Amino acid sequence: MKERLFSEGQLIKERLAEISDYIYRNPELGNEEYKAAEALTSFLKEHNFSVESNIAGMETAFKATFESGKPGLTVGYLCEYDALPKIGHGCGHNMIGVMSAGAGVVLSKVLSEIGGKVIVYGTPAEETNGGKVILTEAGVFDELDAAMIVHPDGETRASGSSSALYPLRFIYKGKTAHAASCPEKGINALNSVIQLFNGIDALRQHVTPDVRMHGIITKGGVAANIVPDEAVADFYFRASTKERVTEVVEKVKKIAEGAALMTGATLEMERYELPYDDLKTNETLSEMFNENLRALGITDIKEAKTTGGSSDIGNVSHVAPTIHPYIGITDCPMVGHSVEMAKATTTSKAHDRLLIAALAMAYTGYDIINNGKSLR
């Protein structure tokens, strides 16, 4: 059966490369990926997928389903297609969306024989507000027995982990006064923010090595001779697990309250972006994918990396068995979020690896449905 899947892949190889290059030439920021979403959904419709648009209130999100009409497990492939400002597709999302759509199309060709269902999801804005978080909270992925996405990179490596992330904004409010003639009549909100930073820096020696705490002052006053009556700081807090980042945030909140007490300012705290959960790779699914990569000729698969970064795929992994491996598209190390990475996605090697990744996901989807055993 996998020989047939391979043959089906060859039939769409050039089409996949065309769509990937088209998305590369037309980079769109998160939640503005209209051309990319249209290109991917049109391709899926050509292969008899039923497409729903505007999922969970996001105009560029979609859900494309192919039903076998027979009982069986459900496999999902996740597309990304948002670009970076100025750089374009420096994270290779033009390839990611096409790999997943290609995998779905290839697998659909044998579903009438093995049963089950394949769903290709369009997940916008990975680089900004995390479309997968919104889709996960809406229950979109709850029906999946397996979820897959593959990321281009300078080397091929197994699915690993990512950090949980919680974004928190601190707003201190004080009272203006002339900073020279009557400073005693003012309440300096900026001093609270400074004490907040000092307190967080003191906390660093009392957290585990996986914790990351980094922030900026977005508002600190309007003039040097006016006591600032409002100061704002935005922070990201990360840790290896969702539970640990929650513990860190609770400690930081107490530091923030103490900083307000030190100056007499009032404090407001708010979550200013969506939080990301840590990625929990399903090791059984990961090894199935790696074996299929090897069968397709890619044998140099590096071990999974533990990264301090965060991704909205983590939220998906908390509701469905998930993998997020990497496939090498260059002959040398590659820096992500770079112009060089964007250009590398259009090479002949990238086009070859585009198909191989799609086939490996299709093979893995076939294995899951054919075995009939859920990985949950």
Using one digit for the tens of pLDDT, what is the confidence trace for 173-214? 999 999 999 999 999 999 999 999 999 999 999 999 999 999
Q: What percent of the chain has pLDDT over 90?
A: 95
Q: Could you tell me the two tokens for 319? A: 């509701």
Q: Are residues 291 and 240 in the same domain?
A: no
Task: Tell me the mean pLDDT in the region 228-234.
Answer: 98
Q: Are residues 239 and 366 in the same domain?
A: no
Residue 74 has pLDDT above 90, yes or no: yes
Q: Pairing state of beta strands 117-122 and 151-153?
A: unpaired
Residue 307 has pLDDT above 80, yes or no: no
Q: Are residues 101 and 121 in the same domain?
A: yes
Mean pLDDT for the chain? 96
Tell me what pLDDT residue 376 has: 80
Tell me what pLDDT residue 366 has: 98
| pLDDT category of residue 332 using cuts at 50, 70 and 90 | confident
How far is CA 45 from its chain centroid? 25
Residue 83 has pLDDT above 90, yes or no: yes
**Among 356, 374, 334, residue whose Cα is nearest residue 289:** 356
Residue 2 has pLDDT above 90, yes or no: yes
Q: Are residues 84 and 182 in the same domain?
A: no
Considering the domain boundaries, does residue 112 fall inside one? yes
Tell me what pLDDT residue 308 has: 75
User: Where does 184-282 have alpha helices with state H?
Assistant: 189-203, 242-263
pLDDT digits (tens, 9 = 90+) for 159-170: 999 999 999 999
Q: Where a domain ends, among 209, 244, 271?
A: 271
Q: What percent of the chain has pLDDT over 70?
A: 100
Q: Where a domain ends, among 239, 271, 303?
A: 271
Q: Are residues 155 and 295 in the same domain?
A: yes
Secondary structure class of 265 (helix, strand, coil): coil
Tell me what pLDDT residue 145 has: 97
Considering the domain boundaries, does residue 101 fall inside one? yes
| pLDDT category of residue 333 using cuts at 50, 70 and 90 | confident
Considering the domain boundaries, does residue 376 fall inside one? no
Q: Where a domain ends, among 271, 305, 320?
A: 271
Q: Dihedral through CA 194, CA 196, CA 197, CA 201, nearest 10?
A: 140
| pLDDT category of residue 306 using cuts at 50, 70 and 90 | confident
CB crowding 31-58: b at 16 or more within 10 Å, else e: bbbebbbebbbebbeebebebeeebbeb
| pLDDT category of residue 128 using cuts at 50, 70 and 90 | confident
Domain coverage including residue 267: 164-271
How many separate domains does the chain show?
A: 2
Tell me what pLDDT residue 55 has: 97
Task: Tell me the mean pLDDT in the region 45-67.
Answer: 98
Q: Are residues 262 and 311 in the same domain?
A: no
Task: Tell me the mean pLDDT in the region 336-342.
Answer: 92
**Among 247, 218, 237, residue whose Cα is nearest residue 275:** 237
Q: Are residues 109 and 172 in the same domain?
A: no
Residue 259 has pLDDT above 80, yes or no: yes
